[in-house]
Amino acid sequence: MTISKGEKLPDVKLVKATTDGPDAVQSSEFFAGKKVALFAVPGAFTPTCSAKHLPGYVEKAAELKAKGIDEIACVSVNDAFVMGAWGKDAGSSDVTMLADGSADFAKAIGLDADFSGYGMGTRSQRFSMIVNDGVVEELNVEGPGEFKVSSAEHMLGQL
């Protein structure tokens, strides 16, 4: 079942990509006590994700923070090394890169997807959410192949 607005995020392990290497963190700790703009992509370095999704949040980071966002985070079913390299390549120092290597987070919130037809296995659907102290305030899930409601621009309109 897909998570809904008003529900608390499940507690699973994510891995932050840092300049010092991977840093495991429980989602309950990561989201505690702050307002987070979270967006998820099917894969790092993939076309829409690299050309539009991540760059939009990088470009709009100051505007999101001015509207009350404490942290911006990108999650993908990739390992922390890939997420770190993608973050460095995209110039995203304002975006925390979170690895969901085994899709545990995507599965726990019911937003996993089967990308086996593309040789990618289990991935995350494309979505965004505003999370306040671990509770989902807004949830924007894209339809297959779409990029509209999970954009930074759409999220700015929700704040």
Which residues, other chains included, contact 129 with Cβ-Cβ below 8 Å and sequence gap of 6+?
A: 38, 39, 136, 137, 138, 139, 140
Q: Are 53 and 150 in contact (CB under 8 A)?
A: yes
CA distance 103 to 112: 7
Q: Which residues are catalytic?
A: 49
Q: Are 40 and 125 in contact (CB under 8 A)?
A: yes
Q: Which stretches does DSSP call E strand in 7-158?
A: 13-18, 21-26, 35-41, 71-76, 95-99, 112-114, 122-124, 127-132, 135-141
Tokens of 7: 């529900």
